[in-house]
Amino acid sequence: ALDLKNIQGDILSGLPKKTETFYFFEITDVTGFRTNLRDFVPVIKTVAQTLKDREAIDKHKKESGHGGHKPPTIPLVGVNIAFSHLGFAKLGIDDTKLVDTAFLSGQRQDAQTLGDKGTLDGDKFVPDWDAPFKQDIHGVFVVAGDSHVTVDRKVQLIEQRFKVGTPTASISKIVSIVGDVRPGDQDGHEHFGYLDGVSNPAIIGFDKNPPPGPAPVRPGVLLLGQDGDEDKDGRDPWMADGSFLVFRQLFQNVPEFDEFVNTNRLQLPGLSAKEGADLFGARLVGRWKSGAPIDLTPFFDDPELADDPLRNNNFHFTAERDFQKLCPFAAHIRKTLPRADLEDLGFSIENRRIARRGIQFGPELTRAEKQQKKTLLGRGLLFVSYQSSIVNGFQFIQQSWANNANFPFGEQTPETPGLDPIIGQSGDAPRGLMSGVNPNTPATTVDLKDVWVIPRGGEYFFSPSIKALRETIAL
Ligand code: N7H
């Protein structure tokens, strides 16, 4: 059985959040840091505690749901911590048996592989990232909660405990980035308007009654040292029950995306202009804005289906391995989890599964942006994923699937799929054509000449177990 008191809360259950601060830091005094960390470990929220928090939230919702006068949320906050390879190096901790080449080289070195734009300085690739991510980041505190007040108070506690800004400081802040769930009926939707967080891997032995959908995965797909971790036998003992945390700051050009969708709206009999645009957008993502999958409802949105956990993930692209009438090969959710496209050919997709725990950042669209159809303020997704291998998980999905015009390869795929229109990157080269946008004529393509999701920074981290924090990393 999994030791839920030993695993950091965000990994398996997701820290509940309306807002979340990522506090990126550099370690400036190793002994001081390790001493401060010893006292801080009890503050770190485990899976066991996170499950209790979730119960309390559910109970509160039930009690306040019937015209009660209670506020809609209860004050709750959770802190997790994770380290980069540079952080372990600074601490003098040998992390070679973490094995993962992406982690060990760091995300900045990996940016070209991921397709990010950048320039060459001699033969060194320098990504077009924001300044904080060009510095050496040693670690991150992930602070999630119900409101800015509770989260900010916790950030202050972190700064006190690690003596930030004083002569005995053990860390210094590089940058803190705040994410916020979107307001009103956009709660849970990302900035293009699509419901997110519908499909995450169910974990055998942890998720008690997984709804129908992709097969549940062994715990080692997320956790090192557990069954399903490909490098299980080669790890050092302290690595068990930890997980790699991928962080990416992805900006989204929303008015430009909307304009592209509107310009290319499908003109089919019986569809209004808005319905034609919604259908085109749904074919880029693979789900309608409501969350309903187009594999199950290809021509019209179905909010009831979207809300039904027994149906909204229960599809496999089975009927359409060789064609893309229902869902384009390149649609974002088909690229990032091809289901039967690979499983029917005998390939397992278990080791490609990642647990996504991102949050939105930046303001809602302003009237000026809507009028000018131009992004004036920064907004997007603070992408977070957990996995036991970045090479098999996040890096593979981005590089070999999303950025690969020829994937997925049906046995006899009649058309070249094209890049993932949402996240596919191709550096400074054009992104090329995507097929399958029109359900009636799958060979029809659209030119993905613009890019609406722009990576501006990130890092690879390792989120250790509580035991590792206490016995190996702290003094
Ligand atoms: Fe994606 N989007 O709004 O289009 N994503 N994603 N993602 N994504 C998903 O099924 C989006 C990004 C995955 O199990 C949904 O929960 C946006 C990266 C995976 O069927 C929507 C951005 C990577 C899945 C979006 C972004 C992934 C998934 C449907 C960037 C990995 C689950 C909701 C700004 C490299 C697939 C859902 C499955 C779903 C969007 C980023 C991966 C709406 C806007 C970088 C594995």
Ligand 1 centroid distance, CA of 194 (Å): 10
Instruction: Answer whether residue 236 shows pLDDT above 70.
Output: yes
The finding on whether 266 has its CB within 6 A of some atom of ligand 1 is no
User: What pLDDT, on a 0 to 100 scale, did the predictor assign at position 72?
Assistant: 65
* Residue 145 and residue 154 in contact, taking contact as beta carbons nearer than 8 Å: yes
Domain ranges of the chain: 9-249+458-473, 254-350+400-453
What confidence tens digit (pLDDT) does each residue in 114-129 have? 999 999 999 999 999 9
What confidence tens digit (pLDDT) does each residue in 376-404 have? 999 999 999 999 999 999 999 999 999 99
In 3D space, the residue among 154, 2, 137 whose CA is nearest the CA of residue 76 turns out to be 154
Which helix (H) or strand (E) is 126 found in, with range? strand 124-127
* Residue 427 and residue 112 in contact, taking contact as beta carbons nearer than 8 Å: yes
Residues whose CB falls within 8 Å of the CB of residue 127, separated by 6 or more in sequence, listed in order: 108, 111, 112, 116, 117, 118, 455
User: What pLDDT, on a 0 to 100 scale, did the predictor assign at position 142?
Assistant: 98
Nearest atom in ligand 1 to 381's CA = 34
Instruction: Answer whether residue 168 shows pLDDT above 70.
Output: yes
Ligand 1 centroid distance, CA of 435 (Å): 19
User: What pLDDT, on a 0 to 100 scale, did the predictor assign at position 409?
Assistant: 77
Residue 17 burial (C-beta neighbours within 10 Å; 0-12, 13-18, 19+): buried
ipTM of the complex in this document:
0.99
Q: Would you call the peptide bond into 408 cis, given omega within 30 degrees of 0 as the criterion?
A: yes
- The secondary structure of 262-295 as a DSSP string is HHT----TT--HHHHHHHHHHHHHSB-TTS-BTT
Residue 368 burial (C-beta neighbours within 10 Å; 0-12, 13-18, 19+): exposed
The finding on whether 287 has its CB within 6 A of some atom of ligand 1 is yes
What confidence tens digit (pLDDT) does each residue in 402-418 have? 999 999 975 557 789 99
Instruction: Answer whether residue 221 shows pLDDT above 80.
Output: yes
The mean predicted confidence, pLDDT, of the chain is: 95
Average pLDDT of 413-436? 94
Contacts of 401-409 spanning 24+ positions with Cβ under 8 A:
401/335, 401/336, 401/338, 402/332, 402/335, 402/336, 403/114, 403/115, 405/432, 407/329, 407/335, 407/338, 408/329, 408/334, 408/335, 408/338, 408/341, 408/342, 409/341
The finding on whether 140 has its CB within 6 A of some atom of ligand 1 is no
Average pLDDT of 201-222? 97
The finding on whether 383 has its CB within 6 A of some atom of ligand 1 is yes
Nearest atom in ligand 1 to 214's CA = 14
The finding on whether 395 has its CB within 6 A of some atom of ligand 1 is no
User: What pLDDT, on a 0 to 100 scale, did the predictor assign at position 458?
Assistant: 98
User: What pLDDT, on a 0 to 100 scale, did the predictor assign at position 163?
Assistant: 98
Nearest atom in ligand 1 to 250's CA = 34
User: What pLDDT, on a 0 to 100 scale, did the predictor assign at position 64?
Assistant: 80
Known catalytic residues?
A: 196
Average pLDDT of 357-380? 98
Whole-angstrom distance, CA of residue 39 vs CA of residue 475: 10
User: What pLDDT, on a 0 to 100 scale, did the predictor assign at position 62?
Assistant: 86
Whole-angstrom distance, CA of residue 380 vs CA of residue 376: 13
Nearest atom in ligand 1 to 353's CA = 46
Return the higher-pLDDT residue of 318 and 21: 21
Average pLDDT of 32-43? 98
Q: Mean pLDDT lowest for which of 70-74, 133-137, 250-254, 458-462? A: 70-74
| Residue nearest atom 4 of ligand 1, based on CA coordinates | 285
Whole-angstrom distance, CA of residue 205 vs CA of residue 70: 35
The finding on whether 333 has its CB within 6 A of some atom of ligand 1 is yes
Distances (CA, A) of 141 to 49, 158, 161: 17, 9, 13
Whole-angstrom distance, CA of residue 288 vs CA of residue 281: 8
Indicate the pairing of strand 171-180 with strand 19-27. Answer: antiparallel
